[in-house]
Chain A
Amino acid sequence: MHLLQLQHLKKYFATQKAVDDISFDIEQGSIFGLLGPNGAGKTTLLRMITGIFYPDSGEIIFNGKKFNALEDVSGIGYMPEERGLYKKMKIGEQAVYLARLKGLSKTDAEKKVKEWFIKFDMQSWWNKKVEDLSKGMSQKLQFVTTVLHEPKLIILDEPFSGLDPVNANLIKEEIFTLAKNGSTIIFSTHRMEQVEEICDHIVLVNKGKKILDGTVSDVKQQFKENHFVVGSAENIPDISEPALFDIFKKEEKKMQIKINPAVKTNEVLRFFMDKNIEVNQFAEILPSLNDIFIKLVEGTNAARQFQHIQ
């Protein structure tokens, strides 16, 4: 079932088409990666999903119904990229306040905050102020305030920035648990290795348009370039067979090759066996999301700002 469906969303500002006809669906319980370079329109897109902006045209279907910003806020948790908390407010009070703004009753909010503070080992913080916290600590607090009211849809914009590996792992595990329990997570970041690790499905936007949509493995398949690694226990002699493959990286006992599209992998393997080379490794190298990202986006973004709409 689709928890969220975006249909031909558009949002134009005076100086640019921030979101220009974007559509995609998000499966319930999935972890969805929204990727794109700076200024691609991600934040505008997220702000429309959270009801902060109204789209100029297009529709958002949330949980099977047309999205209604006022009614659906309790179903959404949003953690913006730029962290926002009241600096002078006590941490416990602040978490309770934000939960109540999402529609929780006072007693429920207090109970939930206590549970989460215990889970994240934050009980002693209750009476501290945000200005006393380190960046990583306030990040944890922000995460707690985002998921506290058990929203169906959790939107996390760069959730790991500023976190040390231990705390990053803590939050990562929490994201997996939330997804397993049925929450849907939209995860927006520039850090491709995190996306590969966490996300099931990704969409890449650039210049306000969607340029890529699919599961992580599908996307990798789509962009694979027939790169293989061949390894041996012995030194591999200088051999080449342009009809079958090109070598683009050669070490003593290992080399990376690009197999011609028309050629089957077994033919290549047979070639090595015929040459009496003891192969102990033969594997496909899939492109990293990072490579795909750079390939698709590179050089396209410079002229985007201050582009006027005709």
Chain B
Amino acid sequence: MNTNKTALIIGREYFTRVKKKSFLLTTILVPVVMIAFYAIIIAVTIKGSTQKTKIAVIDEAGLLADTSRRLNNDMVFIKNETENSFVKKYQQQGYDAFLYIPIFELSDAKNFKLHTAASASITLMNSIEKKLNKAIENKRLIAQGINKEAYEKINSDVDVENSIDTDKGSKKSVAGIAYVVSFICGMLIYIMMIIYGTQVMRGVMEEKTNRIAEVVISSVKPFQLMLGKILGIGAVGLTQFIIWIVLMIALQGLLPLFFPDAVHQMTTAATGGEGASSKMGVLFQGISSLPLFKIGLSFLFYFIGGYLTYASLFAAVGSMATDDQQDTQQLIFPILMPIILGFVIMTKAINDPQSGLAIFGSLFPLTSPIVMMGRITYDVPLWQMATSILLLIGCFIFFAWLTGKIYRTGILMYGKKPGWKEMLKWVVKG
């Protein structure tokens, strides 16, 4: 009968939130916005690579003269003009940019200039710099009397492959991907703990200031009310999360309809295609090299564990709320501190997952949900994982016990804000 009532409370907390229009809106809008963002980026990249920038070149040094024919059709050499005279005309003549190459000393190449109407993109600058460097290198090779073919045989460009060796065998790692995935996981837990934690707090405050708490507590135990609220809102969080994942996958499936080019690139990349799409290939290879199942499970555990631990703290703060908003702000601060600390340690732990700080942060239960997610794509020793999980569970049970006592007294107290000393008394006496 008592568990029934807790279930009833969970149900109310869950359904009143899920039925709200704002829930529907954020749940559907967030992935749509993210996918749209993603789509725009792809669209821009595709467009950027197809649309050529028309560049006028005044090559006083004759640097590009011998390479221009095979390199570019978007570069047009301008004769019989000086930098000063042509700078006023290049835009009218339909050029997007104007590259000026003065006569220079081969040992001291400088004073190259690119004129544009607005600031040039990094890709454009890179491609021009690359082109100039190549041409200058060629000239220097000739000046030094080195055969170009001999030089190219000497020139080396190696890739170092990072192989992660575990008991289960070796696999390739892609440092960048692991980094990004870790960061996103830690960040998500950080954001969700704060969002859903504050929802718990607001819910408790609402019950207290509306005085409904007194009616409900005459029917159920205060702890049931607190637990019901925490679990109900946690379920809302999980629901939202699952919907997001499903929507993202569904929308990603729809992507080919809008951007056939991009998808073609992706598929050729995935099947080991060459050329321009090799970056995509690395990305896919990188993601598939990660222990996705382990990441998913850990994410679920640390989200639930972290949420439960902090939600009970937020509930206690809510129960101590008074009509004065400022009082509540003061009380939230000590709770937000370790969350923020966790986030900071996480950003360090991603760069150096085996450092003492990272290990401490991923074991200490107030920061572990965030920090451990930052280390999760690297292999975490089993004992650390186990200790971290046990500590987090223990911490939740301890906090639930502690905050249950504060909540029970706080929810029925009106008037003045209780001090820390008073709260301690509730815990000890209650």
The answer to whether A and B interact is yes
Question: Which of B16, B213, B216 touches A101 (beta carbons < 8 Å)?
Answer: B216
Please encode chain B, from 210 to 221, with 1 for each CB lying within 8 Å of some chain A CB and 0 for all others.
111111111111
B218 neighbours in A (Cβ, 8 Å): 50-52, 73, 76, 78
Which of B207, B211, B213, B425: most chain A CB closer than 10 A?
Answer: B211
* A52 engages B217 (CB within 8 Å): yes
CB of B12 closer than 8 Å to a CB of A: yes
A214 neighbours in B (Cβ, 8 Å): none
Q: Which B1-55 residues have a C-beta within 8 angstroms of A?
A: 1-2, 5, 8-9, 12, 16
Interface size on B, residues (CB 8 A): 24
CB of B135 closer than 8 Å to a CB of A: no
Whether A87 touches B217, Cβ cut-off 8 Å, given contacts A14-B425, A97-B8, A101-B8, is no
* A80 engages B16 (CB within 8 Å): no
Smallest CB separation, A159 vs chain B (Å):
14
Please encode chain A, from 58 to 93, with 1 for each CB lying within 8 Å of some chain B CB and 0 for all others.
000000000000100100101110111111110000
CB of A102 closer than 8 Å to a CB of B: yes
Smallest CB separation, A188 vs chain B (Å):
14
CB of B412 closer than 8 Å to a CB of A: yes
CB of A287 closer than 8 Å to a CB of B: no
Distance, CA A89 to CA B215, complexed state (A): 15
* A82 engages B1 (CB within 8 Å): no
Whether A80 touches B211, Cβ cut-off 8 Å, given contacts A89-B16, A97-B8, A101-B8, is yes
Whether A87 touches B210, Cβ cut-off 8 Å, given contacts A52-B412, A102-B219, is yes
CB of A172 closer than 8 Å to a CB of B: no
Question: Which of B8, B16, B214, B221 touches A82 (beta carbons < 8 Å)?
Answer: B214
* A85 engages B216 (CB within 8 Å): no
B219 neighbours in A (Cβ, 8 Å): 73, 98, 101-102
Smallest CB separation, A49 vs chain B (Å):
9
Distance, CA A181 to CA B43, complexed state (A): 75
Distance, CA A84 to CA B207, complexed state (A): 8
Q: Which residue of A lies closest to B222 (CB)?
A: A52
Question: Which of B5, B16, B210 touches A84 (beta carbons < 8 Å)?
Answer: B210
Smallest CB separation, A85 vs chain B (Å):
6
* B212 engages A47 (CB within 8 Å): no
Distance, CA A85 to CA B206, complexed state (A): 10
Which of A51, A52, A97, A100: most chain B CB closer than 10 A?
Answer: A52
Q: Which residue of B lies closest to A157 (CB)?
A: B214
A70 neighbours in B (Cβ, 8 Å): 2, 221
* A84 engages B2 (CB within 8 Å): no
Distance, CA A97 to CA B5, complexed state (A): 10
* A84 engages B12 (CB within 8 Å): no
Q: Which residue of A lies closest to B412 (CB)?
A: A52
CB of A30 closer than 8 Å to a CB of B: no
- Taking chain A's interface residues, is the majority helix, strand, or loop, or is none over half, making it mixed? loop
CB of A145 closer than 8 Å to a CB of B: yes
* B211 engages A82 (CB within 8 Å): yes
Q: Which residue of B lies closest to A51 (CB)?
A: B218
Distance, CA A78 to CA B216, complexed state (A): 10
CB of A103 closer than 8 Å to a CB of B: yes
Please encode chain A, from 95 to 121, with 1 for each CB lying within 8 Å of some chain B CB and 0 for all others.
001101111000000000000000000
Q: Which residue of B lies closest to A83 (CB)?
A: B211
Whether A85 touches B210, Cβ cut-off 8 Å, given contacts A50-B218, A51-B218, A102-B219, is yes
* B210 engages A100 (CB within 8 Å): no
Smallest CB separation, B409 vs chain A (Å):
10
A78 neighbours in B (Cβ, 8 Å): 214-215, 218
Please encode chain B, from 386 to 430, with 1 for each CB lying within 8 Å of some chain A CB and 0 for all others.
000000000000000000000000001000000000100100000
B220 neighbours in A (Cβ, 8 Å): 73, 101
Smallest CB separation, A96 vs chain B (Å):
10
* B212 engages A101 (CB within 8 Å): no
Distance, CA A147 to CA B396, complexed state (A): 38
B8 neighbours in A (Cβ, 8 Å): 97, 100-101
A97 neighbours in B (Cβ, 8 Å): 8, 12
A101 neighbours in B (Cβ, 8 Å): 5, 8-9, 216, 219-220
Question: Which of A76, A79, A84, A100 touches B213 (beta carbons < 8 Å)?
Answer: A84
B211 neighbours in A (Cβ, 8 Å): 80, 82-84
Please encode chain B, from 83 to 105, with 1 for each CB lying within 8 Å of some chain A CB and 0 for all others.
00000000000000000000000
B212 neighbours in A (Cβ, 8 Å): 84-86
* A84 engages B1 (CB within 8 Å): no
Chosen A-B contacts, 23 in total, with CB atoms closer than 8 Å, are: A14-B422, A47-B214, A47-B412, A51-B218, A52-B218, A70-B221, A73-B219, A73-B220, A80-B214, A84-B211, A84-B215, A84-B216, A85-B210, A85-B215, A86-B206, A88-B16, A89-B12, A89-B16, A97-B8, A101-B5, A101-B8, A102-B219, A103-B1
Question: Which 3 pairs, one residue from A and one from B, show the smallest C-beta to C-beta distance?
Answer: A84-B211, A84-B212, A82-B211
Give me the interface of A with B, judged by CB distance under 8 Å.
Answer: 14, 47, 50-52, 70, 73, 76, 78-80, 82-89, 97-98, 100-103, 145
Beyond the given pairs A98-B215, A101-B216, 10 more chain A to chain B contacts, judged by CB atoms under 8 angstroms and listed by A's residue number, are A76-B218, A78-B215, A80-B215, A82-B211, A84-B207, A84-B216, A86-B210, A87-B210, A101-B8, A101-B220
